[in-house]
Amino acid sequence: MEDEPCPELVPIGGAEQSDAGPVRKIPVTIITGYLGAGKTTLLNYILTEQHNKRIAVILNEFGEGSALEKSLAISQGGELYEEWLELRNGCLCCSVKDNGVKAIENLMQRRGKFDYILLETTGLADPGAVASMFWVDSELGSDIYLDGIVSVVDAKHGLQHLTEEKPEGLINEASRQVALADLIIINKTDLVSEEELNKVRTSVRSINGFVKILETQRSRVDLSNVLDLHAFDSLSGVSLQKKLEHVKTTQAHLDKAIITVTFDIPGNIKEENLNLFIQNLLWEKNVKDKTGCTMDVIRLKGLVSIQGKSHQVIVQGVHELYDLEETSVAWKEDEKRTNRLVLIGRNLDKEIIKEVFIATVREERGNS
Ligand SMILES: Nc1nc2c(ncn2[C@@H]2O[C@H](COP(=O)(O)OP(=O)(O)OP(=O)(O)O)[C@@H](O)[C@H]2O)c(=O)[nH]1
Ligand SMILES: [Zn+2]
């Protein structure tokens, strides 16, 4: 019973799918970033680059005066539409006012016409809320999967956005977008000196110790860095282990800063204990730092070893939502089983979190 067969992940051959056959899930990449950072420029660039993908783009321009301009930029259509429009190169485009769920549902009726979805959030959006809908909306979840969150940071104004103070000590949008990202694009490097660029890079890194950082002008990036990141699923099982190994706990660099904390605890833990640890942290919020402030976790990633599971288990969390999924990577016979977690958030104290983790996973409950 220990070795439950894990379904093998096999690529589905051919583009054509019969009604009865398995359906290929469509990846969604969320493109976020503060107002004017270069999100739409990035989308335009991606749409015009050679990528052999049929991409569907959703522009979420909620409440922004420039929405019309944005649709114009992409569709050359001249008006704000909520209907899908086919571009000359076969890509699809649509501009919406809400968080995009409707648009995606609508889009899925055109299945077969596209193989990738890019969703641009508004500059003030919390990408976590958008990401969450892929977990909550199981209807959506069966058709599509979240591939990654890409945040565009303005090299010129990024620092200012990251340090902006919000009332009641709320986390500003720019920091949240950096904390949640799987890829950061520091754009508009033409507008800053090397020194200014270093400062932005250091601040971004101090918030998110995990994220890959690219620097661009006009959002020109190698698309392989943006698409098919598999940041949330077990297909990244192997590389995630490597990636996690390189993550370091960061030092607060900005005021009231968000930082990254990572640790590695050897052993083989019970799933219920892991759940308890995560729920205390994310739901009960009863884990506090030395000064009594609640630890506020925005993003959680990890690879853990669960008792009774032969394969590594990936942990993913965005705000209050989290998910455990067995990967296709089996623990080897002689391999030391270990649990590595990466947490990004505020008021994080590595030593305290480690202690809480150890105490929780060591605890016996119910059956010996
Ligand atoms: N100098 C410079 N300007 C840039 C660069 N990238 C984009 N821009 C300009 O910056 C402005 C904002 O770019 P957008 O791509 O619309 O930014 P956005 O993030 O989509 O903006 P919102 O949707 O309004 O939040 C545009 O005028 C772009 O032409 C760059 O690398 N350097
Ligand atoms: Zn835009």
ipTM: 0.99
Confidence at 80, pLDDT banded by 50, 70, 90: very low
DSSP state of 323: E
Q: What one-letter code names the amino acid at 290? A: K
Which of 172, 204, 233 corresponds to the end of one domain? 233
Q: Is the pLDDT of residue 221 over 50?
A: yes
- Looking at the structure, tell me whether residues 223 and 302 fall in a common domain: no
158 lines ligand 1 (CB under 6 A): no
The reply to whether 120 falls in a domain is yes
* Ligand 1 atom nearest residue 35's Cα: 25
For residue 28, what pLDDT is reported? Answer: 93
The residue range of the domain holding 294 is 238-362
- Looking at the structure, tell me whether residues 59 and 186 fall in a common domain: yes
Which of 233, 254, 276 corresponds to the end of one domain? 233
Instruction: Write the DSSP assignment of 147-176 as a string of letters.
Output: EEEEEEEETTTHHHHHH---GGGPPPHHHH
Q: Which two tokens stand for residue 359?
A: 């105490």
Task: Give Cα separations from 105 to 253, 334, 348 (angstroms).
Answer: 41, 47, 38
Q: What is the pTM for the complete model shown?
A: 0.85
Mean pLDDT score of the chain, rounded to an integer? 84
- Per the model's pLDDT, the better-predicted residue between 76 and 214 turns out to be 214
Could you give the CA distance from residue 354 to residue 158 in angstroms, rounded to a whole number?
32
Confidence at 314, pLDDT banded by 50, 70, 90: very high
Nearest C-alpha neighbor of 226 from the set 97, 13, 348, 43? 43
The residue with tokens 């939502």 is 321
The reply to whether 21 falls in a domain is no
Query: Distance, CA 260 to ligand 1 centroid (Å)?
Result: 29
- Looking at the structure, tell me whether residues 225 and 332 fall in a common domain: no
The reply to whether 122 falls in a domain is yes
- Looking at the structure, tell me whether residues 210 and 255 fall in a common domain: no
Could you give the CA distance from residue 193 to residue 21 in angstroms, rounded to a whole number?
55
Collapse the DSSP code of 179 into the 3-class scheme (helix H, G, I; strand E, B; otherwise coil) and give the result. helix
147-198 residue pLDDT tens: 999 999 999 999 999 999 888 888 899 999 999 999 999 999 999 999 999 9
- Looking at the structure, tell me whether residues 60 and 165 fall in a common domain: yes
Confidence at 256, pLDDT banded by 50, 70, 90: low
Instruction: Write the DSSP assignment of 189-244 as a string of letters.
Output: GGGS-HHHHHHHHHHHHHH-SS-EEEE-STT---GGGTS----SSGGGHHHHHHHH
Ligand 1, atom 14, residue with closest C-alpha: 38
- Looking at the structure, tell me whether residues 127 and 225 fall in a common domain: yes
- Looking at the structure, tell me whether residues 112 and 257 fall in a common domain: no
The reply to whether 8 falls in a domain is no
For residue 359, what pLDDT is reported? Answer: 95
Backbone torsions φ then ψ of 260, nearest 5 degrees: -110, 135
Q: Is the pLDDT of residue 130 over 70?
A: yes
The reply to whether 12 falls in a domain is no
Confidence at 22, pLDDT banded by 50, 70, 90: low
Give the residue, out of 32, 41, 152, with the most ligand 1 atoms within 8 A of its beta carbon, to mutate for a pocket test: 41
β strands within 78-182, DSSP E: 85-86, 92-96, 116-120, 144-154
Q: What is the mean pLDDT of residues 54-67?
A: 67
- Looking at the structure, tell me whether residues 162 and 286 fall in a common domain: no
- Looking at the structure, tell me whether residues 228 and 242 fall in a common domain: no
For residue 49, what pLDDT is reported? Answer: 82
Domain CATH code at residue 215? 3.40.50.300
- Looking at the structure, tell me whether residues 200 and 267 fall in a common domain: no
Could you give the CA distance from residue 223 to residue 183 in angstroms, rounded to a whole number?
12
- What order do you get walking across the sheet with 144-154 strand by strand? 85-86, 92-96, 55-60, 116-120, 26-33, 144-154, 183-187, 212-215
Q: How many domains does the chain have?
A: 2
Q: Is the pLDDT of residue 366 over 70?
A: no
Q: Which two tokens stand for residue 222?
A: 């190698």
* Ligand 1 atom nearest residue 191's Cα: 1
Which of 212, 233, 254 corresponds to the end of one domain? 233
Q: What is the mean pLDDT of residues 28-44?
A: 93
Query: Distance, CA 291 to ligand 2 centroid (Å)?
Result: 40
340-349 residue pLDDT tens: 999 999 999 9
- Looking at the structure, tell me whether residues 337 and 197 fall in a common domain: no
Contact 126, 63 (CB under 8 A): no
Confidence at 64, pLDDT banded by 50, 70, 90: very low
157 lines ligand 1 (CB under 6 A): no
Could you give the CA distance from residue 62 to residue 261 in angstroms, rounded to a whole number?
34
Q: What is the mean pLDDT of residues 86-92?
A: 76
Burial class (CB in 10 A: 0-12, 13-18, 19+), 177: buried
Domain CATH code at residue 317? 3.30.1220.10
